[in-house]
A = this chain, B = another copy of it.
Amino acid sequence: MAGLQREETGTLLSFRPSIRVIDATMRDGGLVNNFQFSDQFVTSLYQANIASGVDYMEMGYKADKDLFDESAFGKWKFCKEDDIFRIVGENKTPLKLAVMADVGRCNVERDLGDKKNSPIDMVRIATYINTIPAALAMVDWCEKKGYETTVNVMAISQASEKEIDLALEMLGKSATRTIYIVDSYGSMYPEEMRVIGEKYMEAGVKYGKQIGIHAHNNQNLAFANTIECTALGVNYLDATVQGMGRGAGNCAMELLLGFLKNPKYKLVHMLKFIEKHMPEIRKSGAVWGYDLPYLLTGVFNRHPSPAIRYIKDKRENIVDFYHEILDQE
C-alpha cells in the first residue's frame, strides 16, 4: 500500500478500502496467558481471521531466547518460523502475518532471515520514545530483509508534546511504513485522542506514512478511541478477540468488525469463533478486561502493573489501592 494520502475519511455508511485490521490476540493476549495457546486454538483463530476478512494476524513476540527462558513461556513468545509454518503452511491466503519485536528484548539480526524464507510479512517494532534510534536500526534491518515494518511508540500519554513531535519527525524520515499511536495506559479520552490522532495524521501525510492505533481499555474507551482515530483517517487498526490483552485489554475485534462497513469484513465468523473457543481460554485461568484498579491507573495515567497485581492477588481493598496509586507521585 502506498503512503498515506489525505483522502475522504468516509461516513458511517461508506468505507475506506485502505483500512487494515490487525488481530493482536496472540501477542497482547499472550501477555495474559503466558503465550500458552494450543495449536488447535491458533489454527482456529487463523481460520476465523481469514473468514472474517482480517488483514494481519500478529502471532506473538519475536523475543530473544538469550534473554528469556524458553521453558518458562509458550512458544508464541518466540514465534519461530517452524512453529508458524506448522499452523499456516504456505499461507496462500490474503491474511498477512506479523510478529512484534521489542527494542532491547530481541535479536532480529540473528532471528530474522530473508523474508522469502519466512512466513512473517510484517515486523512491528515496539519502542519507548527514548529508544527510537534503536528501533530505527531494527527498521532498517527488517525492511532490508524484505519485511514490512511498523513502529509502535508506547506510553505516549507520558511523553511531552515536544518529544512526540521529535519522534514523529524521526519516524517520518525513516524507512518504516506505519507509525502507531499506542495508548499503553488506557488513559486517553476521545477528545485527547482526536488531538493526538490529528498530529500523527499530519506527520503521516507529510512523510507518506500510514498511521495505526493500538488502544487499551482501562477506561472502557479502547473501541471508542479506535473508531475516533478511524474517522480521522487512521488506517491500521489493532484489535484483539474479546479485547484479550494485558490488564484491561484492548479494542475488541468483534466491536471493530461490527463498526467497519468494508464489505470484506464479516463479523459473524468472528462471533462463531468467540463462542466456540474463548471459553477454554477463560477456563484456563486467563483474566483480563476493564475493572476498578485499571480504571484508577487509567485515570491517573500510570502503568497498569500495580492493577494487574491487585487483580492477581484477588485483593478487595480498593481504597488502599487508591492511596497507593496517589502515593506513587
Contacts and interface: CB of A to CB of B under 8 A. Distances in A.
A95 interface: no
Interface in A191-228: 191-192, 219-221, 223-224, 227-228
A22 interface: no
B190 A227 contact: yes
Contacts of A322: 268, 271
Contacts of A255: 219-220, 295
Q: Is the interface of A mostly helix, strand, loop or mixed?
A: helix
B223 A318 contact: no
A81 B129 CA distance: 60
A153 interface: no
A69 to B, nearest CB: 37
The complex is assembled from copies of this chain, and their number is: 2
A132 to B, nearest CB: 27
A271 B318 contact: yes
Contacts of A274: 292, 318
A316 interface: yes
A215 to B, nearest CB: 11
A318 B190 contact: no
B191 A254 contact: no
Interface residues on A, range: 20 to 34
Contacts of A319: 268, 271-272
Contact of A275 (B228, B275, B318): B318
Contacts of A318: 268, 271-272, 274-275
B267 A12 contact: no
B192 A12 contact: yes
A15 to B, nearest CB: 14
B219 A220 contact: no
A45 to B, nearest CB: 16
A167 interface: no
Contacts of A316: 275
Contacts of A12: 189, 191-192
Contacts of A268: 318-319, 322
Contact of A220 (B220, B271, B298, B299): B220
Contacts of A296: 258, 271
9 contacts: A12-B189, A191-B228, A191-B231, A219-B255, A220-B223, A268-B322, A271-B296, A271-B322, A274-B292
Given A190-B227, A274-B292, 13 more contacts: A190-B190, A190-B224, A191-B227, A191-B228, A219-B223, A219-B259, A224-B224, A254-B292, A258-B295, A268-B322, A275-B316, A275-B317, A275-B318
